Amino acid sequence: MANVGLDSGGGRIASGAGLFVLGGFADSLGLGAALSAAVGHRGERAPVHDRGTVLTHLALVLAGGGEACSDIEHLRAEPGLFGPVASDSTAYRTMTGIDSAQLDRIWEAAADVRARAWSGRVVDPAVALVLDIDSALVEIHSENKHGAAPHIKGGCGFHPMVCSTDDGEPLWAKLRPGNAAANRIADHVEVLDAAIAGLPERFAAGHRPGDGAEAAAQPMRLGTDSAGCSTHIADACRDRNIEFFVAARKNEQISAAIATTRVDPGRWKRAAPNPKARKARAQIAELTDEADLSSWPDGTRLIVRREPLHPGAQRSLFDSAHFRYWGFLTDAQGSPVRLDAVMRDHARVEDAVARCKDSGLNRMPFRGWDANAASTALCATGVALVHWSRTLRLTGPLAKAAPKRLRWQLWHTPARIVRTSRNTIARLPDRHPATPMLLLAHALN
């Protein structure tokens, strides 16, 4: 370290210039105005701080790594960048005052903003819009929070379920008690319908319950892990004109199908090459003709993948001393090898859930259920805001960066506040790596 003293008094230096740019991007999308309409004041007089602005500032706090209402004080300390920011007590009252009706309007506001963010997105009838559903356990070290309950791993907390796009944008999230089952199909269908309702009309058309297939301009695909392996999910997808890819669960029929075909060399084909693997040793086979799929929708197929056992391999569909077997059910057309590559992309939903947990979902800061449900919605909206910013404003590696990297390299960039020609300007350090990217992003807002 350099031999430099440390002292206070840097009143014209501000941190969080990157969050200032992100806030400007939120304003350009109308996020604050949409949230203001969703969570209006109820008294005779308007509050000092607009409730939509408070929620927008809290979304910036979550993007910057904050976890509690008290973290809004870091924005409040920088009025030169963020203007008048509410205190932590005002932020707390705003969140705890949100009821279920206002929560629904918050999700509707997020959908309106998404429509503006997706306005330039091309509807390609040859490329499906991929949705993924997954759930995650949130550990809470308190029994005083409404809805916290013991979960399957021996802890206590919540078990939210998230539906996101394939590229990591959360569309809707359902807060659930810790003892809610991962394979509760009614929750899967509810989350799917809510996520579709949050899409722009040109993407959602034809995919609501009972819609005709001719109304769908954009094909859609749903992926789930084995918790969603149910004929009810398949029927719900068929009713909504959605292709389904669901990971198979181990049962006697699948085990018998694998036992019958495992020594048939003509059935197993080499999997598509994986650039991250040194050798393409996995094999793919379609076992539809060997399994009874009569309870599934017409056209359902069983695809199984096998690869040599390796340390840490997860549970297999079939007990074998040489291979790990893994499979899925789908009604999509195409070769088994191609469909296997499509299904394996479902693993990216883990990244979306991880980003939500890294941006506030991993900590339910309130005692009441409605407040924590609102916190879940705000977390999903904040992650979506960062996703839109990465997609529409950033380039290079940062366009795909995780929240932690964005905080270190972008959001917490310092700036010097100066007044010139009656204007306030935040001057970024010339040698900071984020300066060119932030200047470009700010110019586009």
**For residues 356 and 170, what is the distance between their CA atoms, to the nearest angstrom?**
8
Confirm whether 113 is domain-assigned.
no
Please tell me the least confidently modeled range out of 75-79, 281-285, 312-316, 382-386.
312-316
Q: How confident is the model at residue 9 (pLDDT cuts 50, 70, 90)?
A: low
Confirm whether 5 is domain-assigned.
no
Confirm whether 114 is domain-assigned.
no
Do 269 and 193 share a domain, yes or no?
Answer: yes
Residue labelled with tokens 């980003």: 355
Do 181 and 304 share a domain, yes or no?
Answer: yes
Confirm whether 401 is domain-assigned.
yes
CATH (domain of 186): 3.90.350.10
Residue labelled with tokens 């793919």: 284
Do 240 and 323 share a domain, yes or no?
Answer: yes
Q: pLDDT tens digits for 130-154?
A: 999 999 999 987 778 999 998 888 8
Torsion angle of alpha carbons 400, 402, 406, 408, nearest 10°?
Answer: -140
Confirm whether 234 is domain-assigned.
yes
Cα angle vertex 147, ends 145, 151, to 5°? 105
> Higher model confidence: residue 2 or residue 187?
187
Of 330, 353, 376, the position where a domain reaches its end is 353
Mean pLDDT of 30-45: 84
Please tell me the least confidently modeled range out of 32-46, 207-221, 416-430.
32-46
At residue 315, the pLDDT reads 64
Do 348 and 384 share a domain, yes or no?
Answer: no
At residue 7, the pLDDT reads 64
Q: pLDDT tens digits for 82-108?
A: 989 999 999 999 999 999 999 999 999
**For residues 284 and 3, what is the distance between their CA atoms, to the nearest angstrom?**
62
% residues pLDDT > 70 (the chain): 93
Alpha carbon 266 to its chain's center:
40
Do 31 and 100 share a domain, yes or no?
Answer: yes
Do 137 and 38 share a domain, yes or no?
Answer: no
- With a cut of 70, say whether residue 10 has pLDDT above it: no
Q: pLDDT tens digits for 226-237?
A: 889 999 999 999
Mean pLDDT of 141-169: 89
Number of domains composing the chain: 2
Do 210 and 310 share a domain, yes or no?
Answer: yes
> Higher model confidence: residue 311 or residue 337?
337
At residue 433, the pLDDT reads 92
Q: pLDDT tens digits for 380-407?
A: 999 999 999 999 999 999 998 999 999 9
Of 328, 353, 378, the position where a domain reaches its end is 353
- With a cut of 60, say whether residue 70 has pLDDT above it: yes
At residue 314, the pLDDT reads 67
Confirm whether 429 is domain-assigned.
yes
At residue 223, the pLDDT reads 93
Mean pLDDT of 307-320: 73
Do 324 and 406 share a domain, yes or no?
Answer: no
Do 97 and 155 share a domain, yes or no?
Answer: no
Do 370 and 344 share a domain, yes or no?
Answer: no
At residue 313, the pLDDT reads 64
387 within 8 A of 168, measured Cβ to Cβ: yes
Confirm whether 199 is domain-assigned.
yes
Do 45 and 142 share a domain, yes or no?
Answer: no
At residue 8, the pLDDT reads 62
Of 305, 327, 353, the position where a domain reaches its end is 353
Range of the domain at 21: 13-105+365-444
Do 189 and 148 share a domain, yes or no?
Answer: yes
Mean pLDDT of 39-58: 83
Confirm whether 193 is domain-assigned.
yes
